[in-house]
Amino acid sequence: MAKVSNWQINRPMDYPYEESRPKRQFAAVFDINKCIACQTCTMACKHTWTSGRGQEYMFWNNVETKPYGFYPLAWDVKILSLLGVNKWAGQQYAGKTVFEAAEPGQTVKGYLPEDLDWAHPNLGEDEPAGTVEKGDYFTLPHKIWAFYLPRLCNHCTYPACLAACPRKAIYKRTEDGIVLVDQSRCRGYRECMRACPYKKVLYNAVTRVGEKCIGCYPLVEQGFQPQCVTTCIGKIRLNGWISPPDQADPEKPIDFLVHIKKIALPLYPQTGLEPNIYYVPPIHVPLNYLKQMFGPNVEHTVHLYKNLKDDEQLLGCFMLFGATNRWIEKFKVADGYAFGYDAKGAEIVRVPLKEPIYIRPFEDPERQAVRHNTP
Ligand code: SF4
Ligand code: SF4
């Protein structure tokens, strides 16, 4: 095993291959506070990529209700218990990653879900934590809670699927860091499915090969964001490139959110994969649960999010979520607007920080109308 650097756990770690970061890394930020579990992203992905034979139960993008929703069944509970005690010593992860916890002869510690585990993607949907007693609805903060977690392949910096494949059929593209399965090399051994802690490689029983999210690379190559991002009803998603922390560029929206402001966090960073989908954690959920899921910095993110109105730059960056189908390379906030720019520096989107309010008159002589619903 080589020693590689992992900024999310703040220490070097074991990985079967030498560190080799792509020229640019595909990444996204999801603001969980705005997700309504409408599953539009799920269906947009399904219609685009997985409507064929053998893909009936396959969702490259899914949205599960936490704490009781899972796809496949109990995936994160199982991974966390396989890892043992997930301890953080301040900012540094003191437990073992899936690579470090591997048994002799294995590359990655993992498990293979049963076929039935994939069969009920909506089990647990809208089920909150705790029991509701009389009067609970009127207390703040609520004793019961739930939130929606949209998930797809994290196009990890250290993919466990790639590390475990005995056929070397999985590769990470140098131009954008998107992780793909070469289906002509794959023999369907499912070692990638066993290894991926997020369970984001799926098996097609008809073609007998592994399949996974391809980051909508045909769109990305043309300067557009993926389908799940542009169709999102809640406008919770923003794609972009992420740099390593020491090269963070405050003009790149994802660098700004993840490295500069530190308001977006990786999902289960303790796995050691350096996943590249980042989440703005929900602000109404017990911090201990969030710490287990997103690492030690959740208190800071919750505080920032609650005070978003006081930070114009941050607010402006959030206004760009769902504002365009184009890939935003850089952004700027000025004169009450958030601007997004493409790779050539041309403006592709402009959003006001405050929507202008226009009060329509009671009597409208132009249309010969009287508006009874206008005060
Ligand atoms: S999330 Fe899983 S499938 Fe995606 S790159 Fe990481 S290890 Fe591979
Ligand atoms: S489309 Fe957006 S709001 Fe709807 S479930 Fe997906 S991520 Fe959530």
What digits encode the pLDDT tens for the residues 157-184?
999 999 999 999 999 999 999 999 999 9
Specify the pLDDT at position 53: 96
Question: What pLDDT is recorded for position 374?
Answer: 59
**Ligand 1 atom closest to 201 (CA):** 3
Q: How confident is the model at residue 85 (pLDDT cuts 50, 70, 90)?
A: confident
Q: Which ligand is nearest to the CA of 267?
A: 1
Residues 6+ apart with CB under 8 A from 166: 189, 191
User: Which pair of tokens denotes residue 237?
Assistant: 């998603």
Cβ of 9 closer than 6 Å to ligand 1, yes or no, is no
Confidence band, pLDDT 50/70/90 cuts, at residue 135: confident
- Secondary structure of residue 267 in the 3-state scheme: coil
Worst-scoring range by mean pLDDT, 33-37, 52-56, 361-365?
Answer: 361-365
Specify the residue for token string 């009127």.
138
With a 6 Å cutoff on the Cβ, whether 179 touches ligand 1 is yes
> Residues 223-245: pLDDT tens digits?
999 999 999 999 999 999 999 99
List the residue whose alpha carbon is closest to atom 1 of ligand 2.
Answer: 232
- Predicted TM-score (pTM) of this structure: 0.94
Express each pLDDT in 251-273 by its tens digit: 999 999 999 999 999 999 999 99
State residue 99's pLDDT score: 98
Rounded to an integer, the average pLDDT of 198-217 is 97
Range 83-99 average pLDDT: 94
CATH 3.30.70.20 fits domain 24-290: yes
Whole-angstrom distance, CA of residue 276 vs CA of residue 267? 9
Q: Which pLDDT belongs to residue 139? A: 73
Checking if the pLDDT of 21 tops 80, the result is: yes
In this structure, which amino acid lies at residue 164?
A
Predicted confidence (pLDDT) at residue 375 exceeds the cutoff of 70: no
**Range name among 37-46, 137-146, 313-322 with the lowest pLDDT average:** 137-146
pLDDT at position 86 is 84
Ligand 1 lined by 199 (C-beta under 6 Å):
no
**What percentage of the chain reaches a pLDDT higher than 70?**
99
- Helix ranges restricted to H, the chain: 40-49, 75-83, 160-164, 191-195, 217-220, 227-230, 253-255, 287-294, 298-306, 312-319
- Where do the structural domains in the chain lie, given as residue ranges? 24-290
What pLDDT does residue 312 have? Answer: 97
Strand-pairing partners, residue 122, are none
In this model, does residue 186 exceed pLDDT 80?
yes
- How many contiguous H segments (helices) and E segments (strands) does the chain have? 10, 19
Residues touching ligand 2 (Cβ under 6 Å) are 35-41, 63, 148, 150, 232-234, 236
